[in-house]
């Protein structure tokens, strides 16, 4: 095995471009492993762990681009490196040197658009806090999509935002919808009077799409980032978002979505909710019942949260699994971490033991056998690989493995549509399942709307045509799987 | 409601956002396609990623 | 820091307030008393003979023979290697010179006075195109031409300039900008306007009809004649903005064919140097990249002042000529430079950009932060002495100069 590194000084390409290039290089003959990364410490660790960081790569710094690869022999390695160079140097790789007129800094961008009011930041986490600071110094609200931002930086940014009346969404904020405009990984939903404040991107996506499909609309969906409700942050963004939606004329009802916070934070947030003149739905996924103020309803699943916001009766309790398992195990393969958590919670509620690589309280870590919910978006899977929402191929191997396992009775899948997502995840899945006769074992939820680029109705049709059972929501998919285990005589049938 | 509350509702929520996108170009493309105002910054690490120089720039910035 | 913003604003104010006037042509030793026997000024930051590139050596040996300090080029080379000559940058004496830029006692130099502040700047006269001293040419034809410039053209121009009371160069350049010149690689409009303005005085003060014919023929054939006026004007303007405590505006950019050097207002005379880069551009038939010399000349003072490549939007034809892409993209270059400066010059506006002023006052902080280095339009010299120009193109100032300057400037500001 030969490991080759080449470092391009002062060269930057965005992470999605680099991921695409990495896959192309990894697919070259004789190449075992390949990675093209900016030389931040976090990325060097990824390359090191993959066994392809050599001395040259070690010497790279955060402004450099590392080409790293491992190949079967020297000839294959050299040829792959030459091809990688050619790919980087193509004129359409608009990194550095950028077209001469390109804007290179926030300052230049503000000069080009003086009335800008929001900076959407998706640079490597190592740099994100600095860029956010610069944006806020210029009076911009910020949405930080980047993750791997130090907690202390998040705290400092949000405190500054509090002082300056600037919203800080994130870090790790994947989804927002402001005044009808979907930002980053979000869906095209109608404008309406229901506002959402979410610590989870996919949580926001699911609830906003369910509301859209019920014929209602979203005023704004404000992302707070996954750690906003940590004690170190103290829910600053959540509280500011409540204030903002309280004052926003277009919002009549507000849905709050997160995983369960510590008790002190729960009290802090619910106290503020209670002071609002508007009605709330509070969804702390998996929390035991909390004492809700008079103007708030509690929901335990995303589907229930949407139903509550729509003024519908809450969904009924799940049937508990009866007797011993007759139909085998359920394997969940999720791109959305929140969907993975929600599925685990529903299984635990139904009295079923469940394991996961990201276990919720009450679930166990991955072990042999048993119901298993995998979060494929977790760091351990996404190091050096695209996120499954961007590239469904990441799920192919685990899916094939699950289908090949006679002990697995049902496979749970989340298909997420919208901006930023793969153009045809259903088509990809159908291709992987082609020729199989047992596709009804696969239960999929499709998060999206007909206004999304992928068109939900088309995606559902493709899945149904492939024999997949399509559920209305992630919670419905989990309920379907649980019902199947209860020994229901009904065949799993596709539902529109 | 006090003045603090009114601010974000007015400055961020009252109208479609006018976005400066820094990082993944695909976000800017999508936002433009949705008909909203966006400029894309062809971002590169400040001072070519050199932490020492970036630190000096921070201190010398107005 | 507020102090820096105020100092930069003052630097810009001084640059914009300057009024450069071409007042005279005199022997260099008269303008620069230090120019005695065997003293040779050159383009770019300081360097010793051992590090001089081919074209600069060619110019040095050629001028040594011209001045009578050596009998032959070989003799001159031996003397140079033995340390017989004192080498200094033009910039150390308020002068500039294009390409090799060698300035010596008996060569005529243009005198430009900055009427607002009283300071003066000097530049030798442009020899024309083809095989010339500034590109390292040094044969008999080159030296004969230099003698004619010393004995006929220089004095004639001097008389004419004194006769007119001086030619105001700022408004002349404004007209040239509107006519497709950028005052570095394209000077034909300004050269024509200059000759038109000087012709009556040239005629009135001519020593003979034959000399007048020779001068007008020479000027009429040299599209680049105004370059040296633009350079001296730029030097006069930028010098007035030097030495302002707290200002990080660049006052000098220059190259000696080996190193690129910059000076910054708030750090005074300190040079910040890095290896000069290779231009990219198009070559005359028979020549290619392998023949090129690294970037050379004091003419980057034109870009320092906001013209040349900074004003590319006014001269789209130049983009094509320099192999820089499509002419319709010329504004992109000017816009890119606008991202690294403190302001714009309302006296020099570009119609194609809705009369935006040319980007003026390079801020080293913006260069280092963005990684966008100033672009310079330049001729390309052959790397061997005695050959001459082989092409034209664009080159970038090395980022390292600005990084070093930033560190020194930070120290000067009391910031570790």
pLDDT tens, residue by residue, A393-410: 889 989 999 988 888 999
Q: Which chain C residues touch A104 with a CB distance below 8 Å?
A: 339, 370-372
Q: Distance of alpha carbon C401 from its chain centroid, rounded? A: 18
Chains contacting A (3+ CB pairs below 8 angstroms): B, C
Gap between the Cα atoms of A311 and A401, Å rounded = 42
Gap between the Cα atoms of A291 and A302, Å rounded = 19
pLDDT of the residue at C286: 83
Asked if residue A34 has pLDDT above 90, the reply is no
Shortest CA distance from C366: residue in chain A: A105
Contact check, Cβ <8 Å, C368/B47: yes
Shortest CA distance from C400: residue in chain B: B47
pLDDT of the residue at A144: 97
Q: Does any CB of chain C come closer than 8 Å to the CB of residue B46? A: yes
First to last CA, chain C: 14
Superfamily of chain region A176-316: Succinyl-CoA synthetase domains (3.40.50.261)
Contact check, Cβ <8 Å, B48/C410: no
Contact check, Cβ <8 Å, B48/C248: no
Q: Are strands A279-284 and A296-298 parallel, antiparallel or unpaired?
A: parallel
Q: How confident is the model at residue C27 (pLDDT cuts 50, 70, 90)?
A: very high
Contact check, Cβ <8 Å, A108/C331: no
CATH code, residues A329-485: 3.40.50.261
pLDDT tens, residue by residue, A406-461: 889 999 999 999 999 999 999 999 999 987 777 668 999 999 999 999 999 999 99
Residue A201 three-state SS:
helix
- The mean pLDDT of A55-78, rounded to a whole number, is 90
- The mean pLDDT of C383-396, rounded to a whole number, is 88
Among A118, A219, A246, beta carbon nearest to B17: A118
User: Residues 95 to 134 of A: which have CB under 8 A from any B CB?
Assistant: 95-96, 98-99, 102-106, 108-110, 112-113, 115-124, 127, 130-131
Fold of domain A103-172: Rossmann fold (3.40.50)
Q: Does any CB of chain B come closer than 8 Å to the CB of residue A190? A: no
Structural domains in chain C, CATH included, are 18-231 (3.90.1710.10), 242-413 (3.90.1700.10)
pLDDT of the residue at C210: 97
Asked if residue A183 has pLDDT above 90, the reply is yes
Among B8, B9, B27, beta carbon nearest to A120: B27
A256 φ, ψ (degrees, to nearest 5): -110, 125
Fold of domain A2-94: Alpha-Beta Plaits (3.30.70)
Q: How confident is the model at residue A494 (pLDDT cuts 50, 70, 90)?
A: very low
pLDDT of the residue at B5: 47
The β-bridge partners of A445 are A414, A471
pLDDT of the residue at A89: 76
Chains contacting B (3+ CB pairs below 8 angstroms): A, C
Domain boundaries, chain A: 2-94, 103-172, 176-316, 329-485
Mutation choice for A interface testing from B3, B30, B31, B61 by most A CBs within 10 A: B30
Gap between the Cα atoms of C77 and C61, Å rounded = 6
- The mean pLDDT of A134-153, rounded to a whole number, is 95
pLDDT tens, residue by residue, C217-229: 999 999 999 999 9
Gap between the Cα atoms of A290 and A271, Å rounded = 12
Contact check, Cβ <8 Å, C339/A105: yes
C332 φ, ψ (degrees, to nearest 5): -60, -35
Q: How confident is the model at residue A373 (pLDDT cuts 50, 70, 90)?
A: very high
Q: How confident is the model at residue A35 (pLDDT cuts 50, 70, 90)?
A: confident
pLDDT tens, residue by residue, C295-348: 999 999 999 999 999 999 999 888 877 777 787 788 889 988 998 999 999 999
Asked if residue A383 has pLDDT above 90, the reply is no
pLDDT tens, residue by residue, B8-49: 999 999 999 999 999 999 999 999 999 999 999 988 888 988
Q: Which chain A residues touch C375 with a CB distance below 8 Å?
A: 100
Q: How confident is the model at residue C84 (pLDDT cuts 50, 70, 90)?
A: very high
Q: Which chain B residues touch A12 with a CB distance below 8 Å?
A: 43-45
Asked if residue C115 has pLDDT above 70, the reply is yes
Instruction: Pick the more confident residue, A326 or C147.
Output: C147
Q: How confident is the model at residue A166 (pLDDT cuts 50, 70, 90)?
A: very high
Gap between the Cα atoms of A70 and B19, Å rounded = 41
Among B6, B17, B49, beta carbon nearest to A179: B17
- The mean pLDDT of A197-209, rounded to a whole number, is 96
pLDDT of the residue at A320: 60
Q: Which chain B residues touch A420 with a CB distance below 8 Å?
A: 26-27, 30
- The mean pLDDT of C240-264, rounded to a whole number, is 98
Tally B–C CB contacts below 8 A.
42
Percent of chain A scoring above 90 in pLDDT: 64
Asked if residue A490 has pLDDT above 50, the reply is no
Q: Distance of alpha carbon A400 from its chain centroid, rounded? A: 23
- The mean pLDDT of A232-249, rounded to a whole number, is 96
First to last CA, chain A: 51
Instruction: Pick the more confident residue, A48 or A435.
Output: A48
Nearest-CA neighbor of C100 among C261, C275, C254, C283? Answer: C254
Shortest alpha-carbon distance between residue C326 and chain B (Å): 21
pLDDT of the residue at A489: 36
pLDDT of the residue at A94: 35
Q: CATH topology of A103-172 equal to that of A176-316?
A: yes
Contact check, Cβ <8 Å, A108/C339: yes
Residue A209 three-state SS:
helix
Q: How confident is the model at residue A303 (pLDDT cuts 50, 70, 90)?
A: very high
Q: Does any CB of chain B come closer than 8 Å to the CB of residue A167? A: yes
Q: How confident is the model at residue A198 (pLDDT cuts 50, 70, 90)?
A: very high
Contact check, Cβ <8 Å, A146/B23: yes
pLDDT of the residue at C408: 98
Shortest CA distance from A113: residue in chain B: B39
Contact indicator for C373, C396 with CB cutoff of 8 Å: yes
Contact check, Cβ <8 Å, C369/B59: no
Helix or strand holding residue C96 (H, E): strand C95-96
- The mean pLDDT of A226-252, rounded to a whole number, is 96
Q: Which chain C residues touch B57 with a CB distance below 8 Å?
A: 365, 368-369, 406
Q: What is the average pLDDT score of chain A? A: 88
pLDDT tens, residue by residue, C49-60: 999 999 999 999
The mean-pLDDT minimum among A291-300, A315-324, C151-160, C399-408 falls in A315-324
Asked if residue B6 has pLDDT above 60, the reply is no
Q: How confident is the model at residue A491 (pLDDT cuts 50, 70, 90)?
A: very low
Could you tell me where the DSSP H helices lie in C24-153? 28-31, 54-66, 73-81, 140-148
Contact check, Cβ <8 Å, C339/A104: yes
pLDDT of the residue at A388: 79
- The mean pLDDT of A318-327, rounded to a whole number, is 55
Q: Which chain C residues touch B42 with a CB distance below 8 Å?
A: none
* Concatenated DSSP letters of A66-120: EEEEEESSHHHHHHHHHHHHHHHHSTT--SSSPPTT-B-SHHHHHHHSTT--EEE
Kindly provide the b/e burial profile for residues A63-74, where b requires at least 16 CB atoms within 10 angstroms of the residue's own CB. Answer: bbbbbbbbbeee
Asked if residue A17 has pLDDT above 80, the reply is no
Contact indicator for C370, A104 with CB cutoff of 8 Å: yes
Contact check, Cβ <8 Å, C369/B60: no
Shortest CA distance from B54: residue in chain C: C369
Contact check, Cβ <8 Å, C1/B61: yes
Asked if residue A234 has pLDDT above 70, the reply is yes
Instruction: Pick the more confident residue, B6 or C321.
Output: C321
Asked if residue A319 has pLDDT above 80, the reply is no
Shortest CA distance from B61: residue in chain C: C1
CB atoms under 10 Å from CB of A447, counted, come to 27
pLDDT of the residue at A100: 56
């Amino acid at each position: 095995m030969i490991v080759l590194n080449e470092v391009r000084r002062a060269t930057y390409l965005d992470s999605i471009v680099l991921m695409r290039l990495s896959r192309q290089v990894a697919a070259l003959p004789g190449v075992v492993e390949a990675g093209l990364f900016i030389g931040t410490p976090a990325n060097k660790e990824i390359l090191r762990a993959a066994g392809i960081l050599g001395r040259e790569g070690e010497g790279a710094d955060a402004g450099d681009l590392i080409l790293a690869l491992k190949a079967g022999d020297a000839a294959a390695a050299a040829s792959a490196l030459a091809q990688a160079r050619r790919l980087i140097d193509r004129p359409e790789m608009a990194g550095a040197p950028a077209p001469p007129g390109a804007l290179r800094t926030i300052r230049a961008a503000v000069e080009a658009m003086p009335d800008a009011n929001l900076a959407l930041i998706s640079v490597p986490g190592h740099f994100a806090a600095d860029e956010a600071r610069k944006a806020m110094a210029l009076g911009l609200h910020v949405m930080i999509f980047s993750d791997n931002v130090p907690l202390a930086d998040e705290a400092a940014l949000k405190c500054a935002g509090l002082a300056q009346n600037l919203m800080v969404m994130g870090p790790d904020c994947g989804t927002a919808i402001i005044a009808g405009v979907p930002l980053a990984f979000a869906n095209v939903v109608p404008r309406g009077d229901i506002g959402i404040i979410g610590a989870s991107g996919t949580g926001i996506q699911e609830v906003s799409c369910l509301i859209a499909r019920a014929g209602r609309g979203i005023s704004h969906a404000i992302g707070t980032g996954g750690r906003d409700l940590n004690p170190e942050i103290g829910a600053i963004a959540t509280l500011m978002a409540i204030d903002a939606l309280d004052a926003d004329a277009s919002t009549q009802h507000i849905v709050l979505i997160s995983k369960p916070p510590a008790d002190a934070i729960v009290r802090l947030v619910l106290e503020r909710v209670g002071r609002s003149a508007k009605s709330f739905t509070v969804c702390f996924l998996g929390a035991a019942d909390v004492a809700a103020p008079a103007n708030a309803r509690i929901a335990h699943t995303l589907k229930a949260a949407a139903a509550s916001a729509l003024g519908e009766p809450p969904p009924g309790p799940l049937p508990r699994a009866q007797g011993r398992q007759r139909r085998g195990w359920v394997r969940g393969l999720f791109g959305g971490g929140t969907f993975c958590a929600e599925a685990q919670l529903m299984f635990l509620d139904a009295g079923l033991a469940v394991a996961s690589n990201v276990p919720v309280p009450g679930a166990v870590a991955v072990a042999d056998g048993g119901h298993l919910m995998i979060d494929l978006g977790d760091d351990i899977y996404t190091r050096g690989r695209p996120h499954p929402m961007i590239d469904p191929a990441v799920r192919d191997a685990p899916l094939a493995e699950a289908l090949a396992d006679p002990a697995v009775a049902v496979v749970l899948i989340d298909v997420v549509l919208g901006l930023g997502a793969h153009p045809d995840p259903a088509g990809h899945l159908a291709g992987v399942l082609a020729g199989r006769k047992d596709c009804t074992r696969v239960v999929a939820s499709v998060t999206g709307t007909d206004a999304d680029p992928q068109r939900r109705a088309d995606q559902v049709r493709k899945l149904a045509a492939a024999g997949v059972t399509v559920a209305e929501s992630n919670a419905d998919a989990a309920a379907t799987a649980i019902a199947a285990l209860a020994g229901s005589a009904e065949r799993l049938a596709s539902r529109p | 409601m006090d003045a603090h509350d009114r601010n974000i509702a007015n400055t961020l929520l009252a109208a479609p956002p006018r976005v400066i996108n820094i990082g993944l170009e695909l976000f800017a493309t999508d936002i433009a396609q949705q008909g909203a105002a966006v400029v894309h910054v062809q971002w590169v690490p400040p001072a070519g990623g050199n932490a020492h120089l970036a630190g000096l720039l921070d201190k010398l910035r107005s | 820091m507020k102090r820096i913003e105020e100092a930069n604003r003052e630097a810009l104010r001084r640059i914009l307030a300057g009024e450069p006037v071409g007042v005279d042509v005199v022997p260099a030793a008269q303008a620069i008393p230090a120019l005695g026997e065997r003293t040779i000024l050159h383009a770019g930051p300081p360097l010793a003979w051992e590090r001089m590139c081919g074209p600069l050596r060619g110019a040095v040996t050629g001028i040594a023979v011209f001045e009578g300090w050596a009998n032959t080029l070989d003799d001159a080379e031996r003397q140079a290697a033995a340390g017989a000559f004192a080498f200094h940058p033009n910039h150390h004496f308020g002068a500039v010179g294009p390409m090799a830029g060698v300035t010596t006692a008996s060569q005529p130099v243009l005198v430009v006075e900055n009427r607002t502040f009283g300071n003066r700047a000097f530049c030798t006269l442009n020899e024309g195109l083809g095989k010339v001293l500034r590109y390292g040419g040094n044969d008999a034809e080159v030296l004969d031409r230099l003698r004619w410039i010393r004995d006929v053209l220089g004095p004639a121009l001097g008389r004419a300039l004194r006769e007119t009371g001086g030619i105001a160069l700022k408004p002349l350049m404004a007209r040239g900008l509107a006519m497709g010149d950028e005052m570095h690689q394209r000077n034909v409009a300004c050269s024509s306007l200059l000759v038109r303005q000087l012709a009556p005085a040239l005629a009135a003060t001519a020593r003979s009809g034959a000399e007048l014919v020779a001068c007008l023929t020479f000027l009429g054939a040299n599209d680049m004649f105004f370059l040296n006026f633009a350079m001296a004007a730029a030097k006069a303007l930028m010098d007035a903005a030097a030495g302002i405590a707290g200002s990080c505006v660049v006052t000098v950019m220059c190259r000696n064919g080996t190193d690129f050097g910059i000076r910054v207002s708030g750090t005074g005379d300190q040079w910040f140097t890095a290896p000069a880069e290779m231009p990219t551009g198009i070559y005359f038939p028979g020549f290619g990249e392998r023949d090129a010399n690294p970037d050379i000349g004091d003419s980057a003072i034109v870009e320092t002042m906001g013209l040349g490549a900074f004003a590319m939007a006014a001269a789209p034809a130049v983009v094509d000529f320099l192999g820089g892409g499509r002419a319709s993209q010329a504004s992109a270059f000017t816009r890119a430079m606008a991202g690294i400066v403190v302001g714009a010059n309302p006296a020099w506006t570009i119609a194609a950009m809705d009369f935006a002023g040319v980007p003026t006052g390079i801020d080293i902080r913006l260069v280092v932060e963005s990684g966008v280095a100033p672009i310079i339009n330049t001729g390309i010299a052959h790397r061997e002495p005695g050959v001459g120009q082989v092409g034209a193109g664009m080159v970038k100032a090395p980022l390292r100069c600005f990084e070093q300057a930033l560190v020194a400037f930070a120290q000067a500001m009391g910031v570790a």
